[in-house]
Amino acid sequence: MRRLAIVSTLALALTITGCSSGSTTKRTVTVVNTVTSPSVAVSGARSSSGVIVVNPSGPATTAKSTPKTTAPTTPKTTAPSTPKTTVAPIVKVDPLKADCASLLAASDVSAALGATISTVNNRVRLGAAAHGVTGAIRCLYGSKDAGKTAPVRIRLTQYGSAAEAKKQVGVDAQTAQDAGAAVTTTSVNGYPATLQLVAGGLLELQYDSWTMTVAVSDKLATNAKLTTGLPQLAGEILTRLLKNG
């Protein structure tokens, strides 16, 4: 490959006067400057005649490094997990043997609903009835007329099977809704229940082959209190019933 070069020659005559054994000697130095392509390296050389040929190499070039770019990483998002409700195994009890006095106290009603009732309670035993009912009891709290009426009531109804008990809860909820009640679903200690609000409130749930209803008379508490308070009361009643059953 033919090397292209641009040569510029600069002749510089330098007269250097020096003293040596009383004589004067003149020396002439000729500098030849050869400029070549920067990509070709040229070294200087001295000739025998005293002429110095200088072939400077072009300025060194350094390849520019391209900075590496790192694509931003997208943080992984984890969908929040939905906590699972754990329901305790079914405990076999006979609800018809329950003691009303141990199921609910006036202080429980005050704490859950903000209402005050008397400490009087009455227990009423009921026999078999339609829809598979084999027996029931009613617990009346705060009655002022010997158990004819009461502001807070519990009913425990035994059915021939769990399927019949579950079916009746659905029928009762539909009947209440058809009559104009606001019916919603809720849970009591992990078990599904229905809440009916009309002229008071009523909560009904199925447990094994029996059902439990907790009813509160009109004007004893607001709907907001009943919505939160009835599930609370039902949870306390169910816990005590299964413990003492």
Position 209 in a domain:
yes
Backbone angles phi, psi at 237, to 5 degrees: -65, -45
Judgement on whether residues 23 and 133 belong to the same structural domain of the protein: no
Name the residue with higher pLDDT: 69 or 49. 69
Q: Do the Cβ atoms of 159 and 210 come closer than 8 Å?
A: yes
SS3 at position 130 = coil
Judgement on whether residues 219 and 110 belong to the same structural domain of the protein: yes
Judgement on whether residues 110 and 42 belong to the same structural domain of the protein: no
Cα angle: 81, vertex 86, 87; to 5 degrees: 155
Give per-residue pLDDT as tens, 50-103: 444 445 444 444 445 555 555 556 555 555 554 455 667 888 999 999 999 999
Spatial separation of the C-alpha atoms in residues 109 and 116, rounded to whole Å:
7
Q: What is the domain count for the chain?
A: 2
Rama region for 151: left / alpha / beta (φ>0; ψ in -120 to 50; rest): alpha
Average pLDDT over residues 98-126: 96
The angle that helices 223-244 and 106-113 make with each other, rounded to 10 degrees, is 140
* pTM, 2 dp: 0.65
Boundary of a domain, candidates 54, 69, 85 = 54
Question: At 114, is the pLDDT very low, low, confident or very high (cuts 50, 70, 90)?
Answer: very high
Name the residue with higher pLDDT: 81 or 234. 234
Position 74 in a domain:
no
Spatial separation of the C-alpha atoms in residues 231 and 67, rounded to whole Å:
65
Contacts of 124 (CB under 8 A, 6+ apart): 137, 138, 139, 140, 147
Position 73 in a domain:
no
Cβ density class 127-137: b for 16+ within 10 Å, e for less: eeeeebbbbbb
Judgement on whether residues 41 and 157 belong to the same structural domain of the protein: no
Position 145 in a domain:
yes
The answer, yes or no, to whether residue 186 has pLDDT greater than 60, is yes
Instruction: Take residue 201 and report the two structure tokens written for it.
Output: 């409130």
Judgement on whether residues 172 and 112 belong to the same structural domain of the protein: yes
Judgement on whether residues 100 and 37 belong to the same structural domain of the protein: no
Spatial separation of the C-alpha atoms in residues 209 and 195, rounded to whole Å:
20
Judgement on whether residues 129 and 235 belong to the same structural domain of the protein: yes
Judgement on whether residues 36 and 151 belong to the same structural domain of the protein: no
Judgement on whether residues 208 and 149 belong to the same structural domain of the protein: yes
Residue with tokens 């200690």: 189
Judgement on whether residues 237 and 125 belong to the same structural domain of the protein: yes
Alpha-carbon distances of 167 from 90, 133, 171, rounded to whole Å: 18, 12, 6
Position 133 in a domain:
yes
The answer, yes or no, to whether residue 166 has pLDDT greater than 90, is yes
Range of the structural domain that residue 126 is part of? 95-244
- Chain centre to alpha carbon of residue 229: 27
CATH code, 184: 3.40.1000.70
Position 65 in a domain:
no
Position 83 in a domain:
no
Spatial separation of the C-alpha atoms in residues 21 and 41, rounded to whole Å:
43
Judgement on whether residues 34 and 105 belong to the same structural domain of the protein: no
Judgement on whether residues 124 and 231 belong to the same structural domain of the protein: yes
Contacts of 80 (CB under 8 A, 6+ apart): none
The answer, yes or no, to whether residue 1 has pLDDT greater than 70, is no
Position 75 in a domain:
no
Q: Which of 86-90, 111-115, 146-150, 198-202 is the least confident region?
A: 86-90
